[in-house]
């Protein structure tokens, strides 16, 4: 398990794909095995970044696309410098619920800023700091819609239409073509997906 020291893992996918449930299961496993870890999220992870998250995800927000991306980059910079790098240097497994790939997909592809433009900003502003592994939760649009209907609390992305969620899936297909991504079938049982994650991390 020493090869996991200083490992940065992200969980990505469309709305209601089960990322949060898997992070909870992984957290319980790491506690049980006494493996040091840090769980965080984006946008967010620090007090400042959480304030920016509220601005970005607020359904009544009046910010435009460029302002949204710049806020995301600012929040991510603060997150990298204050949470990600310090915990990685301590040898912890760092697990983030969403990261840069969400920006490439949601703002870059879905909202038409441009995937390449968003990726270039990440390279220039954030030194292209990327995770070692990204677990991508793949879920069909129909199943996304069905799961969202059951959600009680909703952010601005939950309330958008079928076309939006279809575009999110297309966006993830476009950005996930390198070896960093581990594709998971998010319609499988929670335990099956958990076992697949553990196996990929050589924990099972």
Rounded to an integer, what distance in angstroms lies between the CA atom of residue 161 and that of residue 139?
16
Residue 75 has pLDDT above 80, yes or no: yes
Kindly indicate the confidence band of residue 176, based on its pLDDT and cuts at 50, 70 and 90: very high
Mean pLDDT of the region 67-81 = 96
Q: What is the pLDDT of residue 2?
A: 47
Residue 156 has pLDDT above 60, yes or no: no
Mean pLDDT of the region 40-46 = 95
Mean pLDDT of the region 177-185 = 96
**Element (H or E) spanning 133, and its range?**
strand 133-138
Residue 3 has pLDDT above 70, yes or no: no
Q: What is the pLDDT of residue 196?
A: 97
The domains of the chain are located at: 2-200
**Element (H or E) spanning 37, and its range?**
strand 37-41
Widest CA span of the chain, in angstroms? 47
Q: What is the pLDDT of residue 74?
A: 95
Residue 160 has pLDDT above 70, yes or no: no
Q: What is the CA radius of gyration of the chain?
A: 16
Task: Read off the tokens for 171.
Answer: 């966006």
Residue 1 has pLDDT above 70, yes or no: no
Q: What is the pLDDT of residue 29?
A: 97
Integer CA distances (angstroms), 30 to 36, 92, 93, 201, in order: 7, 11, 9, 12
**The CATH homologous superfamily of the domain defined by 2-200:** P-loop containing nucleotide triphosphate hydrolases (3.40.50.300)
Give the model confidence (pLDDT) of 45-70 as tens digits. 999 999 999 888 887 778 999 999 99
Rounded to an integer, what distance in angstroms lies between the CA atom of residue 131 and that of residue 198?
17
Place of tokens 């073509």: 177
Give the model confidence (pLDDT) of 101-137 as tens digits. 999 999 999 999 999 999 999 999 999 999 999 999 9
Rounded to an integer, what distance in angstroms lies between the CA atom of residue 180 and that of residue 135?
8
């Amino acid at each position: 398990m020493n090869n996991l020291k200083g490992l940065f893992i992200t969980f990505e996918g469309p709305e209601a794909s089960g990322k949060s449930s898997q992070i909870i299961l992984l957290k319980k496993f790491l506690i049980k095995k006494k493996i040091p870890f840090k769980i965080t999220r984006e946008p967010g992870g620090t007090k400042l970044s959480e304030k920016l998250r509220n601005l970005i995800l607020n359904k009544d927000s009046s910010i435009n696309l460029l302002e949204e991306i710049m806020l995301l980059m600012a929040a991510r910079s603060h997150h990298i410098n204050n949470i990600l790098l310090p915990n990685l240097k301590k040898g912890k497994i760092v697990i983030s619920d969403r990261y840069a790939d969400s920006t490439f997909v949601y703002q870059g592809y879905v909202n038409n800023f441009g995937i390449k433009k968003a990726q270039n900003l990440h390279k220039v502003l954030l030194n292209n700091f990327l995770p070692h592994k990204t677990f991508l939760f793949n879920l069909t649009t129909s199943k996304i819609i069905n799961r969202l209907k059951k959600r009680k609390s909703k952010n601005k992305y939950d309330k958008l239409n079928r076309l939006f969620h279809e575009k999110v899936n297309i966006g993830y297909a476009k950005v996930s073509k390198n070896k960093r991504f581990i594709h998971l079938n998010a319609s499988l049982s929670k335990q099956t997906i958990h076992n697949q994650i553990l196996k990929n991390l050589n924990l099972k």
